[in-house]
Amino acid sequence: MMKDNIAKTLIVVDMQNDFIDGSLGTAEAVQIVDKVKAKIDEYKNRGDKIIYTRDTHQDNYLSTNEGKHLPVVHCIEGTQGWEIRDGLYVEGSEIINKPAFGYTGWADYDFEDVEIIVESANKPAILEELKTIGIDESSMFPEMEHIMSSVNQNCIIQEPDI
């Protein structure tokens, strides 16, 4: 298990084209991109650590459990929609590909001071679908819960205002 000692970390959750102006995009999501970039630039300019997550599906998406309930093809590995929005990625930063909602590997990190950016503008429509299979908001973004339970201080969740 790899352990990192990190003073200050920004986690950028699923800022991928399909969630912005792709198959699951919204006008609201497009509008927050600049604010997300400004936050990323703060970390970049200080030389602090940034970690990106990517929702990552394969060609069989529609036959997966998520795909049966949210039959909108999105974030297929290798496609433009799966890519992180142009201008948001800081070269050399770590990227975590998540095969499903959430990521449970956060215990491998020692976060001391972490901020999380979540693009939430497209949540309402998606949540309606996912509630039918028992996935609610907190389990859709378990990054928050895992990290908040392992970090006792200075954990901030950012949902950029539109």
d(CA 76, CA 57): 5
Cβ-contact 160, 32 below 8 angstroms: yes
Label residue 1 exposed, middle or buried (CB < 10 Å: 0-12, 13-18, 19+). exposed
Stretch near Zn ion under the rule CB under 5 A, chosen from 4-12, 25-33, 55-63, 124-132: 55-63
CB closer to Zn ion, 49 vs 74: 74
Number of residues that bind Zn ion (CB under 5 A): 1
Burial code of 82-112, b = ≥16 C-beta within 10 A, e = fewer? Answer: bbbbeebbeeebeeeebeebbbeebeebebe
CA distances, 131 to each of 56, 66, 136, 138 (Å): 20, 11, 6, 11
Name the minimum Å distance from CB 144 to Zn ion.
17
Stretch near Zn ion under the rule CB under 5 A, chosen from 3-11, 47-55, 123-131, 134-142: 47-55
Tokens for 17, please give them.
């084209």
CB closer to Zn ion, 55 vs 119: 55
When binding is defined by CB under 5 A, the residue of 14, 18, 55, 115 that contacts Zn ion is 55
Question: Cα-atom radius of gyration of the chain, to the nearest Å?
Answer: 15
Place of tokens 């990552």: 56
Stretch near Zn ion under the rule CB under 5 A, chosen from 1-9, 48-56, 83-91, 113-121: 48-56
Decide if residue 18 touches Zn ion (CB under 5 A): no
CB closer to Zn ion, 114 vs 118: 118
Name the minimum Å distance from CB 68 to Zn ion.
12
Name the minimum Å distance from CB 148 to Zn ion.
22
Stretch near Zn ion under the rule CB under 5 A, chosen from 41-49, 51-59, 78-86, 138-146: 51-59
Would you tell me which residues interact with Zn ion (CB under 5 A)? 55
